[in-house]
Amino acid sequence: MRKRNRLIVNTNDWEKQMLSMQRQGRFQKRFRTYVRRLVDWHTNAVTQLPRWRHPLVGYLVGLLLVALGLVVGVVETQLLLPFSFPGVPLLFVVVLVALLWGVGPAIFAMLLSLLVLDYWYIPPFGTLGAYGWSGMLQLLTFAGSGIIIALLTNQREIARVRALVAEREAVLRANQLEAMFESMSDGVVVYNKQGQVLHTNAAARHIFGLGALPPQDEAYLRQELLLQAAQRDEQGQLLPEKRRPLARMLTGEFLMGTRASDVLVQTPDARQVVLNMSGAPIRSEAGAIERAVLIYRDVTERRRLEQRTSEALRALLAMAEVLIQFPERLRWDEATTSPSDEERVGQRMVELTRSVVESVHVVMLAVEPEEELVRPIASVGFTPQEEQQWHERLMAAPLLADHLESGLLSHLKDDEVLILEGMTLPFHTAVLPYYVRMVLVAPICVEKRLIGLVCVDDGSREHTYTRHEITLTHTITGLVA
């Protein structure tokens, strides 16, 4: 029974010790947190000050100023001036130190001032701590004044440091937003309620070609161009008031997703660009709409590609319709195919090819597989005189080998599309009055036999044929085959 009671007592003591240790741990944790915050604040406050306002400098200056105040008070006393207030210079020292170096140096200066007052000015003179109630009241009054000054100054310094930190954070945040604003690849324009342009980023200035505006009228023309862009449609036509993107946003509408719209803009540097517009209103603290931001994305190439894809699809459907109506293949050994029908189909095919592939000239040639003789079927882009010269040239040199090297010919027989310089392909380029830069040559093959060619060029213009155009031309020759 005694062992059991002793065990219970030991268990209770152990629980009390654990509770006590937990309380101590929580207290130590709170104390460390408080000290850390105090050190962080002090360090942050010090880093915002110039070197001469460091607290350590304040302690030294406080000591020197108290000594100076003592000298001034002694001089006043020795000269027996009618208005002699020995504590005033010392209180002025506390105020000055508190304003410039903070609460710590101020309290240090106040304690030194108390020692000076007790030793020199409160009877009995020349001793410390031997004063009566009157002297104690004087010292307490001075100490209370010094503490109040130090605390008020401390609160002022905390508010000043917080305001300085908040200002620097606001400047940093503004710089970050400015950097993000300027580095965006899309054009950003901010309008006010009256439609005036307030801000533009570098991308907007590049997209709209604002650098080409004349300097004398730059502000006016810039405002007109950016305002018109927010009021027109994808055809460049002025929209009704209620349908204008800027007016819609100023009524609280967000232009995102399917609500975004395109606009056609004629830039000052003579470009036509299609821009996709999205944006949102900007509200004040009271919730009123004060501004609107529009984001312009250059989709000129995308819309051009979409248009070309749509045109290519329509052209391919038209080609399929032509070939369905004319099912015979373009073969020399088929007596049922008349030259007029062959030329009619070929002419329709080269016209459709020109509509979907950027080009100036398109020619279609038939190749006799056995003897590799070549003859013209159809062409587009030539003048009557150039076309006659082309026919005469092919009649004078009908062999395929007269126009192509054997290496290039083997690639064509393998159903490969070639891109050649104009001078290396004299099928039709020799009759043109200018230098043809590049020619796209697509073979027409049936059962691994070359039976025709389609040649496409963009004249003297510098044009690089894309993978999309090469694939499209090859698809057309495949349909013809």
In a domain, 223, yes or no: yes
What local confidence, expressed as pLDDT, does residue 11 receive?
57
Q: For residue 431, what is the DSSP state?
A: G
Q: Which residue do the tokens 């506390």 mark?
A: 94
For residues 375 and 468, membership in a common domain is answered with: yes
Residue-wise pLDDT for 418-441, tens only, equals: 888 877 776 777 777 677 788 888
**Residue range of the domain that includes 133:** 51-163
Spatial strand order of the sheet with 361-368 comes to: 373-380, 361-368, 449-457, 438-446, 418-421
Least confident range of 36-45, 110-119, 378-387: 36-45
Phi and psi dihedrals of 302, rounded to 5? -65, -45
Reported confidence tier of residue 281, pLDDT bands at 50, 70, 90: very high
Q: Which residues contact 475 (CB under 8 A, 6 or more apart)?
A: 316
Asked, as a colleague might, if the bond just before 124 is cis with ω within 30 of 0, I would say yes
Q: Is the pLDDT of residue 133 over 60?
A: yes
Residue ending a domain, among 110, 129, 163, is: 163
Selection from 21-25, 68-72, 176-180, 342-346 with the highest mean pLDDT: 176-180
In a domain, 38, yes or no: no
The CATH number of residue 202's host domain is 3.30.450.20
For residues 204 and 225, membership in a common domain is answered with: yes
Q: CA dist 258 to 236, 276, 329, 352, Å? A: 20, 11, 47, 33
What local confidence, expressed as pLDDT, does residue 458 receive?
85
pLDDT higher at 336 or 203:
203
For residues 157 and 189, membership in a common domain is answered with: no
Q: How far apart are CA 459 and CA 422, in angstroms?
A: 9
What local confidence, expressed as pLDDT, does residue 331 receive?
45
What local confidence, expressed as pLDDT, does residue 322 receive?
59
Reported confidence tier of residue 335, pLDDT bands at 50, 70, 90: very low
Q: Is the pLDDT of residue 285 over 80?
A: yes
Least confident range of 192-196, 253-257, 325-329, 414-418: 325-329
Report H helices in 48-132: 55-79, 87-101, 103-116
In a domain, 68, yes or no: yes
Phi and psi dihedrals of 432, rounded to 5? -90, 145
For residues 369 and 451, membership in a common domain is answered with: yes
Q: How far apart are CA 125 and CA 129, in angstroms?
A: 10
Q: Which residue do the tokens 């373009």 mark?
A: 330
What local confidence, expressed as pLDDT, does residue 448 receive?
79
Tell me the residue type at 92.
Answer: F
For residues 197 and 146, membership in a common domain is answered with: no
For residues 340 and 434, membership in a common domain is answered with: yes
Q: Which residue do the tokens 């504590």 mark?
A: 87
In a domain, 219, yes or no: yes
Please indicate, yes or no, whether the overall pTM of this predicted structure exceeds 0.75. Answer: no
Phi and psi dihedrals of 253, rounded to 5? -85, 140
Nearest Cα neighbor of 372 from 481, 451, 477 is 451
Residue ending a domain, among 112, 133, 163, is: 163
In a domain, 419, yes or no: yes
For residues 443 and 339, membership in a common domain is answered with: yes
The CATH number of residue 391's host domain is 3.30.450.40
| 147, two tokens | 């503490």
Q: How far apart are CA 112 and CA 253, in angstroms?
A: 69
| Other residues' Cβ atoms within 10 Å of the Cβ of residue 117 | 22
Tell me what percent of the residues of the chain surpass a pLDDT of 70. Answer: 80
Task: Specify whether the CB–CB gap between 378 and 350 falls below 8 A.
Answer: yes
For residues 288 and 317, membership in a common domain is answered with: no
Q: How far apart are CA 149 and CA 135, in angstroms?
A: 21
In a domain, 28, yes or no: no
For residues 114 and 191, membership in a common domain is answered with: no
For residues 406 and 335, membership in a common domain is answered with: yes
Domain total of the chain: 3
Q: CA dist 156 to 97, 163, 166, 436, Å? A: 14, 10, 15, 81
Q: Is the pLDDT of residue 217 over 50?
A: yes
What local confidence, expressed as pLDDT, does residue 329 receive?
45
What local confidence, expressed as pLDDT, does residue 190 receive?
93
What local confidence, expressed as pLDDT, does residue 377 receive?
86
Reported confidence tier of residue 325, pLDDT bands at 50, 70, 90: low
Tell me the residue type at 399.
Answer: L
Residue-wise pLDDT for 145-189, tens only, equals: 888 887 887 788 778 878 888 888 888 888 888 888 888 889 999
For residues 397 and 283, membership in a common domain is answered with: no
What local confidence, expressed as pLDDT, does residue 116 receive?
81
Nearest Cα neighbor of 70 from 104, 137, 121 is 121
What local confidence, expressed as pLDDT, does residue 150 receive?
79
Reported confidence tier of residue 304, pLDDT bands at 50, 70, 90: confident
Q: How far apart are CA 132 and CA 115, in angstroms?
A: 15
Q: Which residue do the tokens 């040559």 mark?
A: 441
Q: For residue 435, what is the DSSP state?
A: -
What local confidence, expressed as pLDDT, does residue 459 receive?
81
In a domain, 26, yes or no: no
Least confident range of 38-47, 49-58, 330-339: 330-339
Q: Is the dihedral of CA 254, 260, 262, 266 positive or negative?
A: positive
In a domain, 56, yes or no: yes
What local confidence, expressed as pLDDT, does residue 332 receive?
43
By 3-state DSSP, what share of the chain in percent is helix, strand and coil, each rounded to 5?
A: 60, 15, 25
Q: Is the pLDDT of residue 114 over 70?
A: yes
Reported confidence tier of residue 36, pLDDT bands at 50, 70, 90: low
Mean pLDDT of the chain: 79
For residues 222 and 135, membership in a common domain is answered with: no
Residue ending a domain, among 272, 298, 324, is: 298
What local confidence, expressed as pLDDT, does residue 13 receive?
63
Q: Give the E-state strand segments of 401-437 in sequence order.
A: 418-421
